[in-house]
Structure 1
Amino acid sequence: MATIGYVRVSTHDQSVEAQKHGLTEMYNVDEWYEDSGVSGAVKALERPGFDALVAYVRRGDTLVVSAVDRLGRDTLDVLHTVEALQAKGVSIISKREGFDLSTPIGKAMLTMLAAVAELERSNIKARQMAGIERAKAEGKALGREKTINDAQVSEWRKTNSASIKATAEHFNISVASVKRACAAV
């Protein structure tokens, strides 16, 4: 019976090392699986590292995670993930919450914690949208800086009687960029 560690970080700027260190303080991990740069909003079985973990685990294994939110931020997905692992005979332990998710009490706690994780995800998204709206209201430019001159693109297309595709190839830009440039002038 092996102890399997799973770690996940949402961005490539973050590191899984702190999670690994925290888990190795309490558990003798035999095998590691990780997803770096993968949001908790992505369903667990759609993450390459977690999918490989599910294919590897066997009856009697124990999966350890640093916190429930490493499994996911969607309550239903977390519950589905736990049930899929339990069906394979795998126990799941969350270090931060300090309980075995495969027991009845653990499953009840998991339901509440997964709901809190989902709420936090919604709050993050709401704060992000509020920040975008505020930036727009302040007149700040959002998105990537424009690198093409709309008038130049439109003029070249008219002068050469060129198609949208030919214009895109000439300027090495997308067809959508040519359409926007021509519509803007």
Structure 2
Amino acid sequence: MLVGYARTSTLDQEAGLEAQLRELKILGCEKVFQEQASSIGPRMTLEQALEFTREGDTLVVTKLDRLARSVPHMWEIIRTLQAKGVGIRIVNMGIDTNTPTGKLMLNVLGGVAEFEREMMLERQREGIAKAKAEGKYQGRKPTARAKAPEIKMLHAEGVKLSEIARRLGIGKASVHRVLREQML
């Protein structure tokens, strides 16, 4: 059985998710798992997809970065699936781990992808450092501190911290921080 997995990082990437789902359907995936979750956070649907697969199945993804966050993570997933007798197909790379060549290509390309990501992050850090040195980078504006009067008012009214956070669209930790600063 072909089992598809589609993922985007944010809700703003709805078109990307729809494109993945269309492609997986065209490829003949009988069961498709989909989620919108960051690659660094927990991905419960990926875990469900891995659990669902059985011997002889192939897990299909449209791109490698939709599946794994790093080469070690990729190999962790591959080992898990190999132990179950399940292959992986990465469509845009033309890779199918049901073949020895596919396994080799996946390892090489996974290494290149990880290198590329690390280089991009290094360039980003350098750019931010340069912008800071030139006084052009201020970082993100502190949204919770701007809402400090509202936080204090709601807290004084006896509203729970989680409810304050929900109403104001900020994190509960930010509410704690503002109230703690008020006490100092």
TM over 0.5: yes
How far apart, in 2, do the equivalents of 1:103 and 1:74 lie? 22
Cα deviation for residue 13 of structure 1 reads 1.1
Q: Does residue 103 of the first structure (1) align with residue 99 of the second (2)?
A: yes
TM-score (norm 2): 0.73
Instruction: Write 1 or 2 for the structure with the bigger share of helix.
Output: 2
How far apart, in 2, do the equivalents of 1:65 and 1:148 lie? 43
CA deviations on 1:42-97 (whole Å, 9 max, x unpaired) are: 5xxx4111101012111111111112222213101101101111111112111111
Cα deviation for residue 175 of structure 1 reads 4.6
Identity %: 32
Q: Does residue 17 of the first structure (1) align with residue 14 of the second (2)?
A: no
How far apart, in 2, do the equivalents of 1:37 and 1:123 lie? 23
What stretches of structure 1 of length at least 5 have no aligned partner?
A: 153-165
Q: Which residue of 1 aligns with 2:46?
A: 50
How far apart, in 2, do the equivalents of 1:99 and 1:113 lie? 10
Q: Is the 8 A contact 1:86 1:102 kept in 2?
A: no
Q: Does residue 33 of the first structure (1) align with residue 47 of the second (2)?
A: no
Q: Which residue of 1 aligns with 2:62?
A: 66
Q: 1:9 to 1:124 in 2, by over 3 A?
A: farther
Cα deviation for residue 98 of structure 1 reads 0.9
Q: Which residue of 2 aligns with 1:90?
A: 86
How far apart, in 1, do the equivalents of 2:53 and 2:82 lie? 11
Aligned residues: 162
Q: Is the 8 A contact 1:60 1:90 kept in 2?
A: yes
Q: 1:13 to 1:175 in 2, by over 3 A?
A: closer
Q: Which residue of 1 aligns with 2:77?
A: 81
Q: Is the 8 A contact 1:7 1:20 kept in 2?
A: yes
Q: 1:106 to 1:132 in 2, by over 3 A?
A: same
Q: Is the 8 A contact 1:8 1:35 kept in 2?
A: yes
Q: 1:175 to 1:67 in 2, by over 3 A?
A: closer
The structure having more radius of gyration, on CA atoms, is: 1
What stretches of structure 2 of length at least 5 have no aligned partner?
A: 158-163, 165-173
TM-score (norm 1): 0.72
How far apart, in 2, do the equivalents of 1:38 and 1:83 lie? 22
Cα deviation for residue 169 of structure 1 reads 4.4
